[in-house]
Structure 1
Amino acid sequence: MTSPTFDELLTRAEGLVTRGRRSILGIVGAPAAGKTTLARGLADALGNRAVVVGMDGFHLAQVELQRLGRTDRKGAPDTFDAFGYVSLLRRIKETKETVYAPLFRREIEEPIAGAVCVPPEVPLVITEGNYLLVDEEPWSDVPGLLEEVWFLKPDEQERIERLVNRHRRYGRTLVEAKGRALGSDQRNADLIETTASRADLVLENLPLQNFVI
């Protein structure tokens, strides 16, 4: 199977821009699948016609994960404010005012409220995350708010290598990074993989180096 080029995906995204009303494009995949790279590449190419809102902004804060006893499972579906994410997508879809979305900062492992501005005149919002296609409430409400969902399926070994490198960049030792990538992250990845059949477009082995402009 031949992967689409960046220009082909950009053309498809531009089709959502010209619908005459706000559209939301979802990009989903396992950790380190390339969701952020693709989303930002598209948004950069579209300029002021698009903005990226990540699901990761709805990570529960560390203090709440500690209270719930879920710190070691950070990244699992129940470590997010899923209802908050769905509510934000609904606001983005339906309201006319400026919406402010949170942003997850990996260097501090915490979400920052009000960090992403979504002006009312922006026709396309690109949202990327792991659980956009999970068939359990409240995640199951997400697809109905999106015009399209694209699922990224990179080479598995390359994805794991990128994930280990990411963990190391943010302070984990090699042993810790591999333990996280092959442990809780892999359990999440296995769940995400089961949702691929619900996507509008499955993108295999995209050359991510070509998606940064």
Structure 2
Amino acid sequence: MRREPTFTDLVARADALAVPGRRRILGIAGAPGAGKSTLAARLAAALGDRAALVGLDGFHLAQAELDRLDRAERKGAPDTFDADGYVDLLRRLRTSTDKIVYAPEFRREIEEPVANAVPVPRAVPLVITEGNYLLVWPAVRPLLDEVWYLDSDPELRRKRLFDRHVAYGRTAEQARDRTDGSDERNARLVASTAGTADLVLRATP
């Protein structure tokens, strides 16, 4: 029976990627509510100034644009992100000699992305990026040195999503519809790519 990596194991594996003088990118993928952002933040904190955290959610389309495109009720689906912008940022993070590259950040308190919110100094050897579609979009995978897939318990994942929707203003009925509807469709799409990850984590360490 395979031993599930501990958080200490994961820090050591990420640390091995953080080679001074080189820029590497570690991706953490998984379905909505899997715990990707929590794990990524813990890893970044453990590595200190040798890692920077950049989330795919910073590339959500603005709410006004989602409304214009009639996609607001599917927010979080693949076509509600600026996928090309995310790919361009990953390329720049890998190759730019600029002193600092700025990345956007998604602010849940306003449900909007904020541009130029995350500074990534050139001296930082490891960028950790997390999001649903790292293994779904073909242009992303070649830009990542490793991808870890977080496969959390489905019921726990769905509860997290439901609670999140309620916390940000939806009624219980609206939260349930979103969790059982677009969120679950997105989760199935993401789960179909798990086999292409370098490491599959069966539980949040």
Show structure 1 runs of 5+ residues with no match.
Answer: 208-213
The alpha carbon displacement at 1:19 in A equals: 6.4
Within 5 Å, which residues of 2 pair with 1:1-213? 1-18=2-19, 20-97=21-98, 98-134=100-136, 139-207=137-205
Task: Tell me the TM-score normalised to structure 2 length.
Answer: 0.96
Aligned AA for 1:128? Answer: E
For structure 2, the 5+ residue unaligned runs are none
Distance 2:156 2:60 in 1: 25
* Residues 148 and 199, structure 2, Cα contact 8 Å, conserved in 1: yes
Taking the aligned partners of 2:124 and 2:164, their CA distance within structure 1 comes to: 31
One-letter amino acid of the counterpart of residue 107, structure 1: E
1:114 maps to amino acid: N
Aligned counterparts of 2:49 and 2:20: Cα–Cα separation in 1: 16
Number of equivalenced pairs: 203
Q: For 2:138, what is the secondary structure of its paired residue?
A: helix
Q: Secondary structure at the match of 2:187?
A: helix
Q: What RMSD in Å do the two structures reach over aligned CA positions?
A: 1.0
Distance 1:145 1:174 in 2: 39
Matched-pair contact (CA < 8 Å) for 1:3–1:206: no
Equivalent residues of 2:55, 2:129 under 8 A apart: yes
Whole-Å Cα distance in 2 between the matches of residues 114 and 35 of structure 1? 22
- Contact kept? 2:101, 2:121, Cα under 8 Å: yes
The alpha-carbon deviation at position 40 of structure 1 amounts to 0.3
Query: What TM-score, normalized to structure 1?
Result: 0.93
State the distance in 2 between where 1:3 and 1:16 align. 20
Counterpart AA for 2:171 = T
Letter in 1 for 2:12: T
Find runs of 4+ consecutive structure 1 residues off by over 2 angstroms.
none
Q: Aligned letter for 2:50?
A: R
Contact between 2:39 and 2:204, CA under 8 Å: does it hold in 1? no
Q: Give the CA deviation at 1:2.
A: 3.3
Report the residue type matching 2:63 in the other structure: Q
- Give CA-to-partner distance per residue, 1:11-41, whole Å, 9 cap, x none: 0000100264110000000111010010000
Indicate the percent of aligned positions where both proteins have the same amino acid. Answer: 62
